[in-house]
Structure 1
């Protein structure tokens, strides 16, 4: 059996305010072409199908079209819900969809009831584990302490293991969680982990021939059997260096045979450029970023006026601008109050320290210093007369 492991489609997500539906439609069309080219039997979507619990109408249209095209290409589909999805909405008419070869697993009480698909070697049992929020699902298993994602996923896998022991045969588990030894993408996968409390140990996934994980947006291999496919699009500049694609998984009569990565196209690449604002606006070294999504980091000592408008004149897809003045040492990174406190300072010294702080180490110019000194003298003279 040949399986294509995908996850985290996040249909409806925006990229710094720009819609991504057209780009995702293009990428999913390439995924369908891979299904057809490689003779894929089953496509897995391991959670976060939608980006929001209440998707817009056009999001449903995109999903319906993608599922139709995958089925037309000859593969069945197994979908689970992630923490971004509404399980109830995603699972609507799941019984009806199963008759069409699209299996949607959103019911935690049925996570140990597999979707069984046969090939020439016999059955393969797919255990779709929806995202399990401990505070919500612990009422389903009142006799089992479920304080964290780790507890909850370990319990779910025990239930799966018990069913596997009875059924026998080959099996695939699908889950949406943080696993050990995986670092999240800054600003992206933040909702279901606090510190290290909800990291699921790799040992929890022992047993199945393959474990298809979702939630992390970058490709990760935790073992030959346990992998993250990541998202099909880049949804953050923190992901820009991570490839987009899916795992092509082959099961033979004995179990896992081989796994191969298939790249997906990147409709518009992401780049981070850095330099003074004038360099960014005029430098030839940034010419190849004109058609890319751009994160611009300008290094001028002081904030510059209207940088986004000016940068978009050269980079139409500039998505974000960051002021990154030159490196400051530990003292310079401390707060202004901490830097000037603890000793008696003259008014002139305080203004000098303030300007040095906000300008990343550059103090007042001679003209500014003279202006400040004259103002201080005037104020001191007025106070003397008073």
Structure 2
């Protein structure tokens, strides 16, 4: 079976307040062209279909359009909700549209209910693990610790039990929205820290033929059978050099697997420029970046008057302007100081800064409980 693995569409997202809906439509047109050209037999979307729980209407219209196009092509679609999606809203009418070959898995109750598709080699069971907020679902799986590892391990156990009861020649694909250990992150992913550890080991997914991951925005391979497709567009300047792609997976008889990437179109490049205002406005070597989305860092000793307005005359798509020499006396900006740190670590650092006294062990535990309570409440609101 030939499978096209994609994820993290984030329909409705903006890049520094610039709407990206036209660029997202370009990607979806490319996806449909790929389905036709490569004779794709199933499309999988591993979560974060929309950028927020209540998406704008034009993003919903674009989503409905691509569903209709895939239904017309009679190509099945298997899709899960991610941490940006509202599971209940995305899953509206899921049972009804399944008749059109669109298989939505947004509920914890559906983790072990596969969409079973067939080709000349037999059945392929597609299991969907939507983003599972540990604080909300750990009791459903009967696990005491509300952590990503415990919850995903229990969910995979239910999948392996279901798979073991199916015909011996059944191949298996799992869609999951999670942070798997060893993968590379970028600035545009929302933190999913819970229970102190946001990641899970790849061994959690043992026993299935292919794992189509979503959440991280870089296209990458964890192992031969575990991969992230990444986002179809760059959603931060940290992704300017990341090739955007989808995975074309062939899962043949005996579960033999081959994979190759299909590069996504780049409607407009992202780039970062550094220099003085005069050099950036006059030097010919910058001509090739005049049509890019730009993050510009000015190195002038003094902040130039109306710098952004002057830059945008040459670079009309300049989106972000930085002045590193005018940052406060601290050696690093706040963002760089907290980069890679968990919410718990940031909170402890703030407490230390304010009081001058490191938090005691009971205080650390209390802060962790408070953070988890806030995260769980927010996830419950988005899920409703």
Q: Could you say whether these structures have the same fold, taking a TM-score greater than 0.5 normalized by the shorter chain as the test?
A: yes
Larger relative contact order, structure 1 or 2 (CA cutoff 8 Å, min sep 6): 2
Q: How does 1:62-141 map to 2 (within 5 A)?
A: 62-141=62-141
| SS of residue in 2 equivalent to 1:295 | strand
- Contact in 2 for aligned 1:7/1:229 (Cα 8 Å): yes
- Contact in 2 for aligned 1:210/1:256 (Cα 8 Å): no
Deviations 1:303-355 (A, max 9, x none): 22222111111110001011133999xx98389xxxxxxxxxxxxxxxxxxxx
Q: CA separation of 1:204/1:334 partners in 2, compared to 1, >3 Å: closer, same or farther?
A: closer
Q: Which runs of 5+ in 2 are unaligned?
A: 334-384
- Contact in 2 for aligned 1:274/1:299 (Cα 8 Å): yes
* Between 45-54 and 236-245, the greater mean CA deviation after superposition: 236-245
Alpha-carbon distance in structure 2 between the residues aligned to 1:140 and 1:327: 48
TM-score for both structures, normalised by structure 1: 0.82
- Match of 2:261? 261
- Match of 1:281? 281
* Structure 1 residue runs of 4 or more that deviate by more than 3 Å after TM superposition: 325-328
- Match of 1:208? 208
Q: CA separation of 1:332/1:91 partners in 2, compared to 1, >3 Å: closer, same or farther?
A: closer
TM-score for both structures, normalised by structure 2: 0.83
Deviations 1:120-161 (A, max 9, x none): 1111000011110011112323x3124211221111111111
Within the alignment, does 1:333 sit opposite 2:314 as a pair? no
- Contact in 2 for aligned 1:40/1:74 (Cα 8 Å): no
Deviations 1:198-219 (A, max 9, x none): 2110111111110000000111
| SS of residue in 2 equivalent to 1:325 | helix
- Match of 1:165? 164
- Contact in 1 for aligned 2:148/2:199 (Cα 8 Å): yes
- Contact in 2 for aligned 1:6/1:247 (Cα 8 Å): yes
- Match of 1:183? 184
| SS of residue in 1 equivalent to 2:211 | strand
Following superposition, the deviation at residue 194 of structure 1 comes to 6.1
Q: How does 1:343-358 map to 2 (within 5 A)?
A: none
Q: CA separation of 1:297/1:334 partners in 2, compared to 1, >3 Å: closer, same or farther?
A: closer
- Match of 1:313? 313
| SS of residue in 2 equivalent to 1:254 | helix
Following superposition, the deviation at residue 253 of structure 1 comes to 1.0
What number of residue pairs does the alignment pair up? 331
- Contact in 1 for aligned 2:147/2:194 (Cα 8 Å): no
Following superposition, the deviation at residue 37 of structure 1 comes to 0.2
Alpha-carbon distance in structure 2 between the residues aligned to 1:78 and 1:62: 17
Alpha-carbon distance in structure 1 between the residues aligned to 2:302 and 2:205: 52
Deviations 1:55-104 (A, max 9, x none): 11111110011122223334210010000000000000001110001111
Q: CA separation of 1:132/1:22 partners in 2, compared to 1, >3 Å: closer, same or farther?
A: same
- Contact in 2 for aligned 1:184/1:190 (Cα 8 Å): no
Alpha-carbon distance in structure 1 between the residues aligned to 2:14 and 2:303: 28
Following superposition, the deviation at residue 296 of structure 1 comes to 0.5
Following superposition, the deviation at residue 192 of structure 1 comes to 0.7
Following superposition, the deviation at residue 302 of structure 1 comes to 2.7
| SS of residue in 1 equivalent to 2:190 | coil
Q: CA separation of 1:196/1:269 partners in 2, compared to 1, >3 Å: closer, same or farther?
A: farther
- Contact in 2 for aligned 1:296/1:321 (Cα 8 Å): yes
- Match of 1:339? none
